[in-house]
Structure 1
Amino acid sequence: MRSLPVSFSRILFNFLKPHAPIKIGPASKLHQSTLMKQRSSIELPMPTDLVSYWQGVFEAEGVPEAQTSIEYIVSYVLEAKTFQSLRAEHLSKPVTEQQLHQVEELSAWRLNRMPIQYVIGEWDFLDLTLIMRPPVFIPRPETEELVVLVIEEFQRKVKPGGAEHRDLAVAEASQCPMILEVGCGSGAISLSLLKKFPKVNSRVVAVDKEEAAVSLTRDNATRLQLQDRITILQHDILTNHNFLLRHNLVDIIVSNPPYIFKDDIASLAPEILSYEDPVALDGGEDGMQIIIGILSATPHLLKSYGDVFLEVDPRHPEMVAQWLQIHPDLDLSLIATHKDFCGKPRFLHLRKGKVPGSSARD
């Protein structure tokens, strides 16, 4: 990690002259021990001063979302969720020397393009606060929509008297669904679903082939006191799906699989390329490698009329529909394609068993 770009005396100079240009060069870089020695004779800054200063540094160094990044860092150090939620008493007094040192350390990591989620070590997903650590994939806002979709569609499916309410077994499943997540990462999807399906008998089997992901999901489950309702396995479903049969057939399979086209990987932001696990990103030549693997295993793992929910690239819905046409033996129907908040086709809803009149609605 590179050393800080300017001396602490220059920090104060910029506090006093917030509109002065910030010049950063090799000659101005000092070791952190030098900064510590200078603090005995200078005044400690206010939180707003820290935000102003580091925003300028981040912008000068080309760090994206400069203001948001430093606001998260300062808020985290001051034990608040957001900068806007800081109480007046925090904003009206200088930070402590320890807090200043912590802001400097975390900001130095952000200067090295570490994602802010890794910098502060946690992130909110829906109504959960999850531990985050590299190289485990960071859940994106779109995936929150996937969780909401799973809940809404399943409740609609089992609603008594509804068009898709088939039998008592389905109605009972609505109270305690068995869910399989493929590629659990931090556990964001699995743990959010368990929170939304609060019945004691609702359970999740979460699998990931990476040890770091399995470990992080386990830590997050314990932190949220959901460890008794989730089975977390290090396993590659593409190599052996029969291993999962011991956990019984499931009502729902959900996944945000690696779906980036191989040729698109190189164009990803430095934060992603340098810190996140490429295995969680690379979907092969056409982004379909893991998607096809999941769909191929689905008939062996899913109950009749069970559902599959996938997050995919906007180019994939048509590709999946074509692939299913040449694999009728899988007995899967594409029920719907749903758009994300940007209006892009992002989520697929499939069902095991031929559904009369089914078509991929938007």
Structure 2
Amino acid sequence: MTDDSAPPLSEQTSEQAAARLLSWYDRNRRDLPWRAKPGEVADPYRVWLSEIMLQQTTVPAAAPYFRAFTERWPTVHALAAAPLDDLLVAWAGLGYYARARNLHACARTVVDRHGGRFPDEETALLALPGIGAYTAAAITAIAFGRKATVVDGNVERVIARMFAVTDPLPAVKPTLRRLAATRTPDQRPGDYAQAMMDLGATVCTPRKPKCMLCPWSDGCAARASGIAETLPRKLAKADKPTRRGTAFWLLNPDGAVLLRRRAERGLLGGMTEVPSTAWEETTPDAAALLAHQPIAVGWRALPGVVRHTFSHFHLELGVVTAQAGAGWHAVDGMWVPIDQLDQQALPSVMVKVVRHALAHA
């Protein structure tokens, strides 16, 4: 509920409006595993780790990964010292695996160049691997209490509605950031940033916003115009293309399966995979299967296909299986016992391939 003793939001200064939001936050803040308790000093490592995980990932999905990471690697020194493969295995399922590689590179940079202490200014943070404008601002504000304008998807929605910005995303992002900066206070910038995120996540939601509970509702231009639920507007997305390929489920005489590592750069870089053809618009023909097969052997097609969606395309993979005979020792890749596959850095699409093969082979 809004504070009836306070003047309307439209008549308040930005500092008064911020105080109103912070009062709401003090009563309604979410209890998140990476968030410092009231009165505690935020740990820059935990703030950074959570912000990297939350890129393209929801809070419920990120929370168990955050707990597992901080139990296994409680400090940036511990994470920097960990083998990259261990980190990739722990990351599997979170997607966007370049984040995991950048996470490791950033930890090592913080240890090697900054003595294990994160820089406390946005410009220095931006120089670290995997840290962009949003993450740098979030760390600056939340971990170090310095004034910084933190704008994620939740904040964009709040600002678009407060100012009734009807131009569509993504082109309007600079405008939303500029408007957000006009409200960023000098006091408690970290709490303010988290308050804005909580407001967007729990009250100013994409559908059916709870305007009666919003501390800023009396100054919301979109609510006054009856268009709050339509904002922010977005350009229609183009249909995603579908790519197709074939995965080779190859077992050796010992019952181990052949895996290989993808190239370090590019999609799923550095991750472990079941060998496959290239992923292209057309279904692989016999010539493509011969060109990409890891060993010349008789392959049997398994029923059904594995489907997965990436950010820019859909993927359909057929799976063929075979038993390797003579010469299997020389096959390029690594042979992994089936009961040890969970120790490999398999991305989600490859986990689906494994499950499909085990179910149908």
Range into which the TM-score falls when normalised by the shorter chain = under 0.3
User: What is the TM-score when the length of structure 2 is the normalising length?
Assistant: 0.23
Q: Which one has a larger percent strand, Structure 1 or Structure 2?
A: 1
